[in-house]
């Protein structure tokens, strides 16, 4: 049966199919549409491809009797039967998004896989490609442990650099486990934000130095010249700046311990504290680079100096050994009084109150020894008074 218009045949009915007569014209099939049987075919020559219906209120896009796309009220499904590596293709076909056979969602550009989202016991994202000039990174981001909502960078040795808008970078480097750094767009200089190394117990915030074991650096250029100095702690801009191989140092404050490169076991506290000190076992507490800080110490000699006034409710001194009461012992050698007078005239001080000979403390005396010396001189006076009392008594008898 044919349908004609203006003397020309337009459609014909044949075997339950209404076809257009022109080449490539559509066809309408009088059949029950299913997910594999179309009843609307765009090309009359290919009645196995067209639009069918997998179920009520669903449309099926069918190619060669296979449902490729399903459209329903809840969304669009591509390749519901998973017969092919179905996907969405762009341009000339070498850029696509598809689901692979192992339930992975794959993003392809220029025929090269760029991103793969993997579903399984461990969900993660695998990314490939050049994210910075010269970088060739392959890395996974996902929950590598049972922790919920965790983000994990897998196998850091394979991670070169991740760039965020060319301003913040997450980088792997042979000298680091992980580094986060920012770029100054005005000077093109780089400023490290975080360095972290779990195995060596190392952490740095804002420092670009190479981290040896046990290092904690916080502040721009803190420990900047470190090569192999271990177990140093530097907090503040340029704190411990010059350290190279010195160990076990502590510098708190901007430029604290700035010039020390090989010293060990120093403590510098305060802005510029110990700036010029290059030795070991020193203590500096001050807020300037003075050579005479408010508090100075030498751990090697167990000495402490305070360059200022100390105010205290009470001060106790402790010293092993006897107190000055040995003056009252029977075997104490009490010199003749005239000997003491001659010593005083010659030396200008009491015999038990001799000043220190150490050049640093010349004309000064250690507090404990001074107190003991004063007590000794007072007790000697009582003995001389006793001798004088005996003489007066003898004179009175005469």
- Please report the pLDDT score of residue 340 as a whole number: 92
In this prediction, residue 133 carries a pLDDT of: 39
Q: Which of 283, 273, 275, 213 is nearest to 245 (CA)?
A: 213
Q: What does the pLDDT profile of the chain (398 residues) look like in tens digits?
A: 666 665 555 677 777 777 777 788 888 888 889 999 999 998 888 889 999 999 988 999 999 998 888 898 878 877 766 555 556 777 776 788 877 766 778 888 878 888 877 776 556 677 665 443 344 445 444 433 333 333 333 333 334 444 444 444 455 555 445 555 555 544 444 445 555 554 555 566 665 566 778 888 888 888 889 888 899 999 999 999 999 999 999 999 999 999 999 999 999 999 999 999 999 999 999 999 999 999 999 999 999 999 999 998 987 776 655 678 889 888 999 999 999 999 999 998 898 887 766 555 556 667 777 888 889 999 999 999 999 999 999 998 87
For the chain, the three-class secondary structure string (H helix, E strand, C coil) is CEEEECCEEEEEEECCEEEECCCCCCEEECCCCCCCCCCEECCCCCCCCEEECCCCCCEEEEECCEEEEEEECCEEEECCCCCCCCEEEECCCCEEEEECCCCEEEEEECCEEEEEEECCCCCEEEEEECCCCCCCEEEEEECCCCCCCCCEECCHHHCCEEEECCCEEEECCCCCCEEEEEECCCCCCEEEEEEEECCCCEEEECCCCCCCCCCEEECCCCCCCCCCCCCCEEECCCCCCCCCCCCCCEEECCCCCCCCCCCCCCEEECCCCCCCCCCCCEEEECCCCCCCCCEEEECCCCEEEECCCCCCCCCCCCCCCCCHHHHHCCCCCCCCHHHHHHHHHHHCCCCCCCCCCCHHHCCCCCHHHHHHHHHHHHHHHHHHHHHHHHHHHHHHHC
The values of phi and psi at residue 283, to 5°, are -125, 125
Contact residues for 178 (Cβ-Cβ < 8 A; gap 6+): 153, 156, 170, 171, 172, 194, 195, 196, 197
What is the pLDDT at residue 186? 42
> Which residues are CB-contacts of 235 (< 8 A; sequence separation ≥ 6)?
216, 217, 218, 219, 222, 251, 252, 253
Q: How high is the pLDDT of residue 136?
A: 47
Give the residue extent of every domain in the chain. 2-81, 209-311, 324-397
CA distance to 282, 303, 313, per residue, from 299 (Å)? 6, 7, 27
Q: Quick one: pLDDT at residue 323?
A: 73
Predicted TM-score (pTM) above 0.85 = no
Give the model's pLDDT for residue 390: 92
Closest CA to 153 of 196, 193, 192: 196
Residue 268: CB atoms within 10 Å:
30
In the prediction, which pLDDT does 232 show? 93
């Amino acid at each position: 049966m044919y349908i004609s218009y203006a003397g020309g045949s337009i459609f014909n009915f044949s075997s339950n199919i209404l076809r257009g007569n022109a080449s490539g014209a559509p066809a309408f099939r009088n059949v029950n549409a299913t997910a594999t049987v179309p009843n609307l075919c765009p090309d009359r020559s290919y009645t196995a491809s067209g639009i069918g219906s997998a179920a009520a209120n669903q449309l099926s896009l069918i190619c060669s009797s296979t449902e490729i796309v399903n459209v329903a009220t809840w969304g669009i499904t591509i390749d519901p039967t998973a017969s092919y590596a179905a996907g969405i293709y762009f341009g000339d076909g070498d850029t696509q998004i598809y689901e692979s056979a192992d339930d992975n969602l794959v993003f392809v550009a220029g025929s090269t896989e760029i991103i793969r989202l993997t579903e399984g016991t461990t969900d993660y994202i695998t990314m490939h490609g050049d994210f910075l000039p010269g970088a060739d990174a392959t890395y996974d981001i996902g929950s590598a442990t049972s922790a919920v909502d965790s983000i994990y960078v897998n196998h850091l040795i394979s991670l070169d650099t991740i760039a965020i808008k060319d301003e913040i970078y997450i980088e792997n480097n042979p000298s680091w486990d992980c580094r986060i750094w920012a770029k100054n767009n005005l000077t093109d200089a780089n400023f490290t934000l975080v360095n972290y190394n779990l195995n060596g117990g190392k952490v740095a915030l804002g420092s670009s130095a190479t981290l040896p074991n046990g290092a904690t650096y916080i502040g721009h250029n803190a420990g900047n010249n470190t090569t192999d100095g271990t177990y140093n702690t530097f907090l503040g801009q340029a704190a411990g700046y010059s350290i190279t191989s010195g160990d076990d140092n502590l510098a708190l404050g901007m430029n604290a311990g700035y010039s020390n490169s090989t010293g060990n076991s120093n403590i510098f506290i305060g802005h510029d504290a110990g700036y010029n000190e290059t030795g070991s076992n020193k203590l500096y507490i001050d807020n300037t680079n003075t050579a005479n800080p408010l508090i100075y110490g030498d751990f090697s000699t167990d000495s402490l100096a305070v360059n200022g006034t100390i105010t205290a409710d009470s001060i106790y001194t402790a010293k092993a050994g006897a107190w000055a009461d040995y003056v009252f012992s029977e075997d104490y050698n009490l010199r003749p009084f005239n000997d003491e007078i001659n010593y005083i005239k010659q030396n200008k001080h009491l015999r038990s109150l001799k000043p220190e000979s150490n050049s640093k403390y010349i004309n000064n005396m250690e507090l404990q020894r001074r107190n003991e010396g004063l007590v000794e001189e007072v007790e000697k006076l009582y003995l001389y008074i006793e001798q004088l009392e005996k003489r007066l008594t003898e004179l009175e008898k005469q």
